[in-house]
């Protein structure tokens, strides 16, 4: 698949103008197997609607003062949308807010068979590289030793 250029209605595969991928919300739903797809502009109102439905909300919020300085995901939202979303997250009751990092840590420690296979392949590649480097180093060390003691 080639690089894509974004237009307002469609993605055209570069080099193949006959290939068109829809960028509609229904297409996003289908591609990502999502339950729903909404405009980013709906984020604050959608959060206001969803959050009260849950007794526990897992989120790690940076300090209010460091949010603007960090690479926090919401910093990439347009100005008013960022402040609206920020205020919704700040309004979460501290009793319903739970730390996300410990939950993610536990989930990251569980590896699927596919993840294990990728990790094994990476380890094999790394081991082969180390073996080759060791062989080259040994060859050069032996060659240098022979030259040094030949005189």
Residues 118 and 65 in one domain: no
Whether residue 101 contacts residue 60, with contact meaning beta carbons closer than 8 Å, is answered with yes
Confidence band for 1, pLDDT divided at 50, 70 and 90: very low
Query: Is the model's pLDDT at 124 over the cut of 90?
Result: yes
Query: Is the model's pLDDT at 62 over the cut of 80?
Result: no
Question: What does the alpha-carbon distance between residue 59 and residue 53 come to, in Å, rounded to a whole number?
Answer: 15
Whether residue 28 contacts residue 16, with contact meaning beta carbons closer than 8 Å, is answered with no
The beta strand positions in the chain, using DSSP E, are: 4-6, 10-13, 16-22, 57-58, 97-98
Query: Is the model's pLDDT at 5 over the cut of 50?
Result: no
Residues 120 and 70 in one domain: no
Whether residue 85 contacts residue 44, with contact meaning beta carbons closer than 8 Å, is answered with yes
Higher local confidence (pLDDT), 128 or 75: 128
Residues 45 and 105 in one domain: yes
Q: Give me the number of domains the chain comprises.
A: 3
pLDDT (0 to 100) of residue 130: 92
Residues 99 and 47 in one domain: yes
Residues 46 and 86 in one domain: yes
Residues 83 and 123 in one domain: no
| Maximum alpha-carbon separation in the chain | 85
Whether residue 60 contacts residue 105, with contact meaning beta carbons closer than 8 Å, is answered with no
Domain encompassing residue 15: 1-37
Query: Is the model's pLDDT at 2 over the cut of 50?
Result: no
Query: Is the model's pLDDT at 120 over the cut of 70?
Result: yes
| Residue for token pair 């603007």 | 68
Residues 75 and 127 in one domain: no
Express each pLDDT in 6-47 by its tens digit: 333 344 445 555 555 667 888 888 888 888 888 888 878 888
pTM for this model (two decimals): 0.45
Residues 74 and 100 in one domain: yes
Residues 104 and 46 in one domain: yes
Express each pLDDT in 66-91 by its tens digit: 656 666 666 777 777 777 777 777 77
Residues 45 and 70 in one domain: yes
Inter-residue long-range contacts of 39-43, CB under 8 Å, 24+ positions, other chains counted: 40/77, 40/81, 41/81, 43/77, 43/81, 43/84, 43/85
Residues 51 and 73 in one domain: yes
Within 10 A of 85 (CB to CB), how many other CB atoms are there?
A: 19
| Contacts with 98 (C-beta within 8 Å, 6 or more apart), sequence order | 56, 57, 58, 59
pLDDT (0 to 100) of residue 24: 83
pLDDT (0 to 100) of residue 66: 63
Residues 119 and 149 in one domain: yes
């Amino acid at each position: 698949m080639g690089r894509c250029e974004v237009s307002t209605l469609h993605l055209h595969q570069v080099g193949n103008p006959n290939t068109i991928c829809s960028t509609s919300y229904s297409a996003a739903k289908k591609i990502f197997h999502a339950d729903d797809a909404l405009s980013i502009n709906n984020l604050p109102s959608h959060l206001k609607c969803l959050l009260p439905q849950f007794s526990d909300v897992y989120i790690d919020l940076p300090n209010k003062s460091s949010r603007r300085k960090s690479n926090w995901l919401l910093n990439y939202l347009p100005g008013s949308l960022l402040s609206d979303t920020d205020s919704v997250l700040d309004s979460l009751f501290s009793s319903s807010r739970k730390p996300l990092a410990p939950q993610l840590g536990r989930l990251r420690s569980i590896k699927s068979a596919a993840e294990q296979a990728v990790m094994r392949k990476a380890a094999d590649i790394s081991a082969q590289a180390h073996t080759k480097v060791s062989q080259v180093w040994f060859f050069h060390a032996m060659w240098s030793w022979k030259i040094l003691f030949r005189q």
